[in-house]
Amino acid sequence: MPTDPSPRTPTSPDPGGEAHGDWPAQATETIVGLVDTVRQKTTGPATTAVRAAVWGLLIAIVGTAALVLFLVLFVRGLDILAQVVLDAIGIEKAGRATWIAHTLTGLLFLVPGVLLMRKGAQPTAD
C-alpha cells in the first residue's frame, strides 16, 4: 500500500475545491482579528489622550508647587538681602527688610502686568 508523501493538514483544500479546514477556528480567528482591530482603532487614541491628560495634570500640579516654592524662596532671599544691606547701612528696624522684600516682589509683578495690560488694551490697526 503506497503512502502519500505529503499528508494533508486539516486546513488544506481537497481535490473537490472545498476546504476541509476547521471552520469554527477560522471564524474565531477572523472575529478575534476584527475585534482587535476595532479595539486598537478606538481605545488606542483614547488611551493616548487619557495618558496625555494625566501627565499634563501631573506636570501642572508639580509645576505649580515648584513655582510657589521658588517664589517663597525668592521673597525670603530678598528679605535676607535687604536685612544685610540695611544692617550694613545701620538703619535696620524690625520688619523693615520684610516690607522692602514684599515691595520689590510686588513691583516685579506689577510692572510687567501693567505693560502687558496696556499692550493688550490697544486697538489693532485694520
Q: What is d(CA 76, CA 100) in angstroms, rounded to the nearest whole number?
A: 11
Q: What is d(CA 107, CA 78) in angstroms, rounded to the nearest whole number?
A: 13
> 45-92: per-residue pLDDT in tens?
889 999 999 999 999 999 999 999 999 999 999 999 999 999 898 887
Owner of C-alpha cell 505649580: 64
Whole-prediction pTM value?
Answer: 0.58
> 107-118: per-residue pLDDT in tens?
999 999 999 999
Residue 27 cell numbers, joined: 471564524
Q: Are 77 and 97 in contact (CB under 8 A)?
A: no
Residue 3: what pLDDT? 59
Residue 57: what pLDDT? 98
Residue 20, pLDDT > 90, answer no
Residue 18: what pLDDT? 47
